[in-house]
Structures are given as structure tokens and as C-alpha cells.
Amino acid sequence: MKISQRAARIEPFYVMEVAKAAGALAQQVAHTASPMIFLNIGEPDFTAPPLVQQAASRAIAQGKTQYTQAMGLPALRERISGWYASRFGADVAPGRIVITAGASAALQLACLALIESGDEILMPDPSYPCNRHFVSAAEGTSVLIPTTADERFQLTREKVEAAWNDKTRGVLLASPSNPTGTSIAPEELQSIHEFVHSRGGITLIDEIYLGLSYEEHFGHSALALPGELGQSVISINSFSKYFNMTGWRLGWLVVPEALAPVIERIAQNLFICASTVAQQAALACFEPESLAEYERRRAAFKARRDYFIPELNRLGLRVPVMPDGAFYAYADCTEAAARLGVTGSWDFAFALMERAHLAVTPGRDFGHAAPEQFVRFSTASSMDQLKEAVARLESVLG
């Protein structure tokens, strides 16, 4: 069977390959004194809070399960608009919001609407692999620009200007970022978007971890940029991370008003609509009781970060930039790998899996800038799990 060139361009998602190996080993050690600890997948250990679960049950019981508009439930778009105003001081009209089947569908819609064959999209290296694969699926080309710890592993206007050419269509940023948990400083983000906008380009920004920001300086949406800048940015968001609804597959896209009908037309054809039950449930995310619970959980994620990253540094797994959001630690494993007698993050990850029954993600997924040097830890697990992980790391690393 002949496979399309489009499919051939999509690289393997290595984090899932590691997860398969970890899952197989987990079955073997499940009933031992050292069961597998999974710090490799970016999924909160929290699930949807009670009001959200109850809203889903009511929707099913009341038969509210038929198609919605392709843009999503008007009431949900209104609530998201209100959340942007109250949480971020951003004026986002409901007509700019498109409810999607997860952030993945949001980014797919944006890429299909805006990227032509051969267009180049500038992205930081390291970055979340699926983002560049969506660009490839739309027949664009991702241009990965190496970044440094001094740059918080984020693009700068200087690097964007230097890389811009006749084929460049725009930039795809993430703030906070997976795998580093770092955000773009607001003044740098504004400067980047001013340049891109002046060139007639597009600024797409993945803000799915924005609700999980821990530092006041960084916890701002690009949609709150002043004037036309905030109106022209394209933001991808999700109910998966801050709202703890991973398997519900619900996200949203914020676009300039002129782009909304185009996105709607594509969504009608590709998806019809996002899950109606998930949309009905998500209405309850914005109730005061739910929002208070989400803030308690955000504080718990911050406490995990504040415990775990100093411990990694102590053990020789240096985290060069303290994450200001999300639930990741991007750690230099060079010294630790040498202690285990292995070289590179891939072999180090499998050594930890076998010797400590601890699953982490090697840097291979996240780009080409020294991937063998870094591993990503997820701190989305409980504090007890993180403390046990530290004890096992200390045991094997000495």
C-alpha cells in the first residue's frame, strides 16, 4: 500500500514509544515493592471537579447530546470570553472563539486555514513535537531555531528577524512551553508580534498551560496585548491542563474576527462539532466553586515544582531555568548519565526505567538542539509520588 508523502513527513512521537516500554515493564513490577512511577506523560493526576462531572451526567440524562454549532455552544463561548476578561484583563469577543475537539484540533484548523504548501513557520527549539507536525500536515515547513537557557528557551525578536525570509509565514510560540515550563516575557512577546504583524505574518501561540502560571510577571495572555496586536494574534487553548479534562478532548481557538467564518467552514467539514457532552460539562468549569478548586490545584502544582526541581538540582540533574508555569522540569542529564555509565538522554531514560522503575521522557522528541543532553520530568503526579521518585533517583545516582 502506498503511503502519502504527508504521512511520511510525520515523525514518530517518541514519548509514546517510551510510554509503551514503561507500560510493559510496569506490568512486570506492579506487585513488587517498587512499582513503576510515571513522570513521562503531561497529564494532571487531578480529574474534572464535581460540578463538571455532574453537568456531564445531567446533559446525558436530559438528552443534551446532539450536534452543536461548529463554533461551539454560544453559552460556552460567552463563559470563556468572561474568563479572559476576569483572569487576564483581555477583551475577547465570543465571536472570535471557536470550540474544538481539543487543542490539537484547534491548531490543525489554524494551520489548514493559514498555511500554504512551502510556507515556513518559525518555532523555538526545544518545543512540543506535535506542533511542528501540524505544520507539516498542512504542507508547511517548521524552521526550528535553537534557543538557550539565557533566552528561557524561547524565541526573541532578534532571532525571528534574523530567520525571516520570503518563505516565512509566521511564528508558532508556546507560553508556558512544553517541555521547559518557561514563558516568553511579555515585552519580548509584544516585540515579536509587532515585527511579525508588520511583515503581514501570523503569530500563533499555544497557551494551553497559561492557567498554570506561577509568576506574576509571566502569567499574561497574548490576547491582552494592546490594540490591534491583541486582536490579530491567534491563541490555542485547552480544557485539558488547567481545567483537568484531558480525556474529554475539548479545547478552543481564538482568531481575528475576519478569520472566524473561514475556521467555521473548515470545522463544519472536518469535525462537525466538538463533543456536546464535554461542552455541556465545561460550562461548569467557570462556576465560582469550580474556579476556586482549580486555584487550589494550581497551588498544589506550584508546591510540587518548588519541591521537585531543587531536588533534581541537588542530585546532579540540573534544571537551567526554573519553570514559571506548566508542570515540567527540563533537566540536563549529562552528569547523571555518566554516573549510570550511559551516554545521552535516550539511554539514560531507559536506564532509569530499568534500574529505578521511573519513566521520564528523553529530549529526542523536542527538537534538534542538544536533545541528547536533556530529559523532561512531569511534575503532574502527586507529592508522594514525587518524593518516592527522588528517593529512587538518589538510590541509583548516589
pLDDT at 15: 76
Strand 97-100 versus strand 251-254 pairing type:
antiparallel
312-316 long-range Cβ contacts below 8 angstroms, 24+ apart? 312/377, 312/393, 315/390, 315/393, 315/394, 315/397, 316/397
Cell, residue 275: 463533543
Closest C-alpha among 299, 337, 341, 302 to residue 318: 337
Closest C-alpha among 398, 63, 385, 113 to residue 236: 113
pLDDT at 111: 97
pLDDT at 17: 80
Cell, residue 125: 527549539
**Low-confidence spans in the chain with pLDDT less than 70:** none
pLDDT at 8: 80
pLDDT at 11: 76
pLDDT, one tens digit per residue, over 117-147 is: 999 999 999 999 999 999 999 999 999 999 9
Residue 70's alpha-carbon distances to 99, 107, 109, 253, 345, in angstroms, are: 8, 15, 12, 12, 43
- Enumerate the β-bridge partners of residue 253: 98, 236
Q: Which residues contact 216 (CB under 8 A, 6 or more apart)?
A: none
Total Cβ atoms within 10 A of residue 138:
21
pLDDT at 18: 83
Closest C-alpha among 346, 336, 330, 341 to residue 315: 336
Q: How far apart are CA 373 and CA 39, in angstroms?
A: 18
Q: How far apart are CA 349 and CA 312, in angstroms?
A: 15
pLDDT at 33: 86
Instruction: Tell me the pTM.
Output: 0.95
pLDDT at 104: 96
